[in-house]
Structure 1
Amino acid sequence: MTALVPETEPATAPAAARSASRTTLAAVGALARFEARRLLLRVPVLLALAGYAAWIGWRTLQPWDDYPALQDADRATQGGPLLVGLAALLCANHAVLRSRRRDTERHLAVLVLPQGHRTAAHALSVVPLALLSAAGVAVQFTWEALKPGAVGRGSVAELLVGPLTVLLFGATGVLLARLAPSAVAAPLLVVLFFLMFVGAAFPFSGQETGAAWFAPVVGGPGTHPLPSALLGRPAGWHALYLAGLALTAALLAVLVSGTRTRTVRAGLAAALTLTVLGGVVQTGGVPQVTTAARLRASLTPEKDQTCVRQGTTAYCAFPEWTPRIGDWARVVRRVQSLAGGPAHGQRLLVRQRVEARYGLYDDAALRPSTTPHQVTVGTSWGGNRVPEFSTAVAAVLVAGDEKTAGELCDGRMVTVMWLSLAWQSDPESQLRHVRVDDSVTGPAVVLSRTEPLTMTAGQTEVVRALLHQPFYGVAARVKAHWSELTSPRISTARAAELLGVRADAGADRCE
């Protein structure tokens, strides 16, 4: 008996195409993983990663960084990945040119993967390095966010800039290898990029708007943090621009390598669209609503602030800074506890002030307030900002208002500086920190968010002598002679006499 065996249907063309496509994708993935491992083990990349890790540790462990504003901390993560990106550009370019250097291109041409697919694998090999950079960004920002003194909030778009820069530079290295297959092209481009984006030689560097946004990293943290609502940075559009540019470079490299399929052309068109869209919108300038908010915060901050009263002092701060009121209050209590007369129980108003009308990177001093018993506090804290604020409190207690305090030229400066420094753990060190030239001898300008105070050489000597005297003895004499020590007619020599120190007071500036 003969059995009938049905004939097997031949594989259809679409099924064969799908199978071939899966095989090709698997081969591209395998090559990408192989090249990624080689890329991560290259000496320039290892050195860049080590330098990046050291930079993160150095930056986040600085004493002045114990009180970060997270809307600045996110931008501070963008500089380190530039170094990793430059290494990615150099090493990805070197990897693509390997077959040319070793004269193996003709052998690779007979393999299942054409040059375009191998180029795609090289572009994909940069992704793990970008992910490592993203991990570094996450570590740095999380480290800052977990500090007890952290305030504000960060932006995901700002945090993406570093990893996207690594992707962009790596894709640029691959594209350069296909357009200019020369061993010197990538090193020259690395030097050019280093000068432009690390050495600040970019023509529009330092600008807040316009063509400055065509650079990968646009501006770092400002001198003084601003509330998040006042930043007006097109961070989301910039991230879109960088992502589109990186994808454009990668797909263009695939295209010039000979793979001109419909998928590649469509992807390139989409990437160019994203790049143009992000590039155009990001250069549109500061939104009008942000400009209005900056004006309001600079001229009438009370409209945006939250006020809290602790003891006899009211503290008014922008909402993101209200957790810092406790730090300000501790300084005010310590300074005011040393004052005598009416100043000991004087009601004060500590108001946070910013100057945002002239952009994010302006460092203009604030106009001193003429409101009696109002003290200005800025948005920075930690380091020399503590004795700076302490001096501002002492100056208002002695002079009555900031405008008058900025004009002190007599012996009252001795009282101001002793009140500011005496309560601190290392007063002479704080004296150095609060002076612009970091000196403890001679005349100097004293740091201030408003009009700076000035000390003569004689006043410096008297203050230093007081700081070496027994604390409680000087405190008792300050309270006992408060009226005369805060009189506009007192000289530095008379202040030294009342406080029981012998020092060369010299002449006052107003004599």
Structure 2
Amino acid sequence: MSTVLETPARVVEPTHPARSWAAVFALARFEARELRMIASSLGVAVLYVAWVVRQVTQRQGDYPVLQDVDRDTQGMPVLVGLVVMLGVNRAVLRSHRRDTDRHFDVLVVEPWRRTVAHVLSVVPAVLFTAVCVGVQFTWAALKPGAVGHGSPAELAVGPLTVLLFGVFGVLLARLVRSVFAAPVLLVLLLFALLFVASPSGTAWTSWLGPVVTESGSSSFPSDLLERPAAWHALYLVGLCLFVAAVAVLVSGRRTAVVKAVVAGSLALTLVGVAGQSGGTPPGSTPARDRATNAPEKVQSCLKHGRSTYCAFPEWAGRTAHWAEVVDRVQDLAGGSAGGERLTVRQRIDATYGLETDTLISPSTAPGQVTVGTAWGGNRVPEFAAAVASVLVTGNEKAGSEVCDARMVTIMWLALGGESDPMTALRNVRLDDSVSGSAIVLSPTESMSMSAEQTRIVVELLKKPRYDVAGKVKAKWTELTSQKTSTARVAELLGVPAADKSAAKAEADGDSCEE
């Protein structure tokens, strides 16, 4: 009789643990590639790159203010983020649309791991945005005329915006299993951004949105911005983590770790909300008031040649550019004006905050010329016009009130030394014209030119510079007198007289009297 020994069946376990996280990363790489290859993503990427190239190569950007450039990097990532939100939302819902959800039940990658993979698939788009932001800012910072200081927190807003929209697309797909939910939400978001959201950073509610770009007519020193940029970046980081963790939670992963991440990220978001709740100050603060009404207390002054140039610390390197313009204008002047010691002072009006659009009042101090925080392009002939008006009239206030033939001398001094004087004349006039009457722009209040004065200036700019300069120096006293008529100025400078009707009209308006 034989005995059969039965050995209990032994469960053979794999020698290596399941590589579920490797599958997650593989799925993330696949989804990132799919997201990158859809037409809308390719289109917006090309558009973004073209926009960055245009921003960094345009001539009027030769003198960037870096605390403005960092905010300028935040607009385009919103468009990238919206496209990423649509793309990742469709990717999450792909199995639902194709009715393949039931097949996933036999895979080792659980639903919550697939959610993590979709969240990770957004990372390449975030990195692409970060590279574009970095290129745009670095290119501006490397320009010789760059001034100011950028904020890392402001630069982080663009990539964080793309990440936020991406993870929100994942969460939306887990909450609403409809391909129409994301497009409807996209329309609502665009409507909110364009029409509902407050454009002013002074309201605390505006800081609940991903991007708050404030701009005004002039740039502020970086220490006067007073934007809660670091708190806002912290708020976006917390919100991204919170949305991603909630997406994992609703996908079935309800462990203590996930719940702790949800709670911690929510707390981080609320800390950011509290920190940014003050928003940007809507008006004057002690620092802004000091920079507006007593700039000499916070400025440093340098001498270039005959004149003194006072600027906010970040603009100290730009005084040499101002000196070139002053020297060029003074070299054409006659009498004592050719050797006058001017004081060029940088002035801003920060009374009403970043979004102010208030004109700076002209100075009554003898020999003081105002210059703003912007430079390059039209700002150069505008500053030259201000210098010329002070040389002719003695101070900016008197120059802004000129309503007689002295305007011809002012404009020729301002433009006669330009390499392209006709273009400069067009740029300094409000209507971009070289004929007829017009308003002449300057860093403070504008001036006005009559049609006949414009004609004379145009004729002078066509003549050789040395020829006109000699006549201006020789007849300086008469050319800068309030009693000299426009017709007499034309005669002194060798410009043919106007026809009789034009001459009579000019004579009728040649006086400052009402």
Same fold (TM over 0.5): yes
Higher deviation after alignment, 397-406 or 113-122: 113-122
- Say if 2:296 is the partner of 1:294: no
Higher deviation after alignment, 250-259 or 206-215: 206-215
SS in 1 for 2:331: helix
Matched residue, 2:381: 387
Matched residue, 2:6: none
Q: Deviation digits for residues 116-153 of structure 1, max 9, x if unmatched? A: 21111101110111011000101100110111100111
1:321: how far off? 0.3
On the 8 A contact 2:207/2:279 being kept in 1, the answer is: no
AA matched with 1:313: S
Counterpart mapping for 1:139-158 below 5 A: 139-158=135-154
Q: Separation in 1 of the partners of 2:438 and 2:133?
A: 40
Q: Separation in 1 of the partners of 2:66 and 2:163?
A: 25
TM-score, length basis structure 2: 0.93
AA matched with 1:397: L
- Say if 2:268 is the partner of 1:264: no
Matched residue, 1:6: none
Counterpart mapping for 1:54-453 below 5 A: 54-197=50-193, 200-286=194-280, 291-453=285-447
1:509: how far off? 6.1
- Say if 2:28 is the partner of 1:32: yes
On the 8 A contact 2:200/2:214 being kept in 1, the answer is: no
Q: Deviation digits for residues 161-217 of structure 1, max 9, x if unmatched? A: 0000000011111111112221122122223323433xx323311343421111211
AA matched with 1:494: R
Matched residue, 1:7: none
Residues 219 and 194 of structure 1: CA distance in aligned 2, closer, same or farther (over 3 Å): same
SS in 2 for 1:316: strand
On the 8 A contact 1:73/1:221 being kept in 2, the answer is: no
Name the Cα RMSD after superposition: 2.0
TM-score, length basis structure 1: 0.93
Q: Separation in 2 of the partners of 1:324 and 1:409?
A: 32
Q: Separation in 1 of the partners of 2:510 and 2:87?
A: 65
1:440: how far off? 1.2
1:337: how far off? 0.2
Matched residue, 2:3: none
1:220: how far off? 4.3
AA matched with 1:430: A
Residue among 458, 473, 476 paired with 1:479: 473
On the 8 A contact 2:288/2:350 being kept in 1, the answer is: yes
SS in 2 for 1:109: helix
Residues 503 and 90 of structure 1: CA distance in aligned 2, closer, same or farther (over 3 Å): farther
Q: Deviation digits for residues 333-390 of structure 1, max 9, x if unmatched? A: 0000000000000010000001111111112110110000000000000000000101
On the 8 A contact 1:456/1:508 being kept in 2, the answer is: no
On the 8 A contact 2:202/2:282 being kept in 1, the answer is: no
Q: Deviation digits for residues 18-59 of structure 1, max 9, x if unmatched? A: 945xx3322222211211111111211111111100111112
On the 8 A contact 2:491/2:497 being kept in 1, the answer is: no
SS in 2 for 1:201: helix
- Say if 2:476 is the partner of 1:510: no
1:256: how far off? 1.4
On the 8 A contact 1:389/1:448 being kept in 2, the answer is: yes
Q: Separation in 2 of the partners of 1:82 and 1:203?
A: 14
Q: Separation in 2 of the partners of 1:411 and 1:274?
A: 66
1:293: how far off? 0.6
On the 8 A contact 2:386/2:442 being kept in 1, the answer is: yes
Residues 174 and 365 of structure 1: CA distance in aligned 2, closer, same or farther (over 3 Å): same
Q: Separation in 2 of the partners of 1:360 and 1:288?
A: 8
Q: Separation in 2 of the partners of 1:203 and 1:289?
A: 20
On the 8 A contact 1:458/1:503 being kept in 2, the answer is: no
On the 8 A contact 2:214/2:354 being kept in 1, the answer is: no
Aligned residues: percent identity?
56
SS in 1 for 2:196: coil
Q: Separation in 2 of the partners of 1:37 and 1:74?
A: 29
1:241: how far off? 0.9
Q: Separation in 2 of the partners of 1:180 and 1:493?
A: 79
SS in 2 for 1:160: helix
On the 8 A contact 2:85/2:167 being kept in 1, the answer is: yes
1:394: how far off? 0.4
Q: Separation in 1 of the partners of 2:254 and 2:24?
A: 16
1:470: how far off? 2.0
Q: Separation in 2 of the partners of 1:233 and 1:34?
A: 40
Q: Separation in 1 of the partners of 2:278 and 2:233?
A: 15
1:503: how far off? 4.7
Q: Separation in 2 of the partners of 1:334 and 1:323?
A: 19
On the 8 A contact 1:428/1:467 being kept in 2, the answer is: yes
- Say if 2:43 is the partner of 1:47: yes
